Structure 1
């Protein structure tokens, strides 16, 4: 479903991705690990079509994430490490997601409730002004409600308390079917019961790739 072929990405003289080739397929739940600067975020942003490679290419279900970005992003749910500065209130955000991505509003409400985020009490609050934990819960609820066959989480539990982390992983286990689930994480202990593949990057290269 995701094919990365000989991908190189440079920023000035710095090589962030160095001739990386890798594939991710259905029913793989992957921990992508490595130190800061290893190239993990650059790889994810290349998959999402944010970056133009210096050489090589990325294919998502046979589509180019740069040339066919709208179609590709329609198939992907992505929760970044740092929540975006969205100025909409939660009600407006839900309406926007419902209209732009054909996501069921009631399903967003359901997953928010499962994450113990009281949406009804906060519908008129700006997303931007919510606590880090509330923002993360909202983004997770949207990612699950979208029912994508590719879900990418970049340090998804960084702002979550232990109870919310447990809720998050419980919901993921309930939705483990016919998808790619990709975690960018420094917390292997948290995801080791979910993932079946562990990839380690360093200096822009894949240094290990293990089925577990």
Structure 2
């Protein structure tokens, strides 16, 4: 469970989050929406312990994501909109994830194959030098293989072609593990088949928080 209470985050004179209160429970699949500058990214980074609150608190399964950051990050998978500049090649990256997160290598390869990522031909290529779409496929494969309690996708399909988007959403539909999934998106239509809540932010506040349907 994610419990956010009276969360405010201020950068100098700019208040990015203003007294935010919200809870996410297991099997909540949320479309987090809002214009640029609404506070979505600040909220996500606060959940993962990247930002210290100016006031208020966040609890992830009862744990503070700053004081207990290592424990909290073990149960969160995050796929950013812009892939990080990882210098490892794919073989090294897979081995690192396998050891650091106790993830089955074969499961990573399975999801990479499902995303139509040719691991074999690119195994010794630097992640940094792959195309945007290939990077995104690799990160998605890792996120699915980790089987995390909380999974956060920030515009995950921005670098994917239409077929890869279909594969991504198919895999999410097929994943029946109980979890919280949070999708930062500008297109509700694209995720409507896999979300059951819509949260809309503006000017650092939550202005819409509603259940939209049950996932079949």
Q: CA deviation at 1:177?
A: 3.1
**Residue in 2 that maps onto 1:156:** 156
Matching residue of 1:77: 77
Q: Which residue of 2 aligns with 1:11?
A: 11
What corresponds to 2:173 in structure 1? Answer: 173
- Say whether the 8 Å CA contact 2:198–2:209 is kept in structure 1: yes
Shift in Å at residue 149 of structure 1? 1.2
Query: What is the TM-score of this pair, normalised by structure 1?
Result: 0.99
Q: Distance in 1 between matches of 2:129 and 2:46?
A: 29
TM-score by length of 2: 0.97
Count of paired positions: 212
1:66-91 deviation line (CA, Å, top 9, x unaligned): 01111000000000111000000000
Kindly indicate whether the alpha-carbon contact (under 8 Å) linking 2:147 and 2:177 is maintained by their aligned counterparts in 1. Answer: no
- What are the ranges of 5 or more consecutive residues in structure 2 without an aligned counterpart? none
- RMSD after superposition: 0.5
Q: Give the corresponding residue for 1:33.
A: 33
Query: Does residue 94 of structure 1 match 2:94?
Result: yes
Matches of 2:64 and 2:96, distance apart in 1: 25
Question: Counterpart of 1:140 in 2: which secondary structure?
Answer: helix
* In 2: Cα distance, 1:59 partner to 1:184 partner: 20
Distance in 2 separating the partners of 1:201 and 1:98: 36
Cα distance, 1:187 vs. partner?
1.4
Q: Trace 1:44-193 onto structure 2 (pairs within 5 A).
A: 44-193=44-193
Find the aligned partners of 1:136 and 1:176 in 2 and give their Cα distance: 22
Question: 2 CA distance for matches of 1:111 and 1:75?
Answer: 19
Deviation, 1:184, is: 0.4
Q: Distance in 2 between matches of 1:62 and 1:142?
A: 26
d(CA) in 2 for partners of 1:186 and 1:119? 30
Indicate conservation of the 8 Å contact 1:37/1:203, yes or no: yes
Find runs of 4+ consecutive structure 1 residues off by over 2 angstroms: none
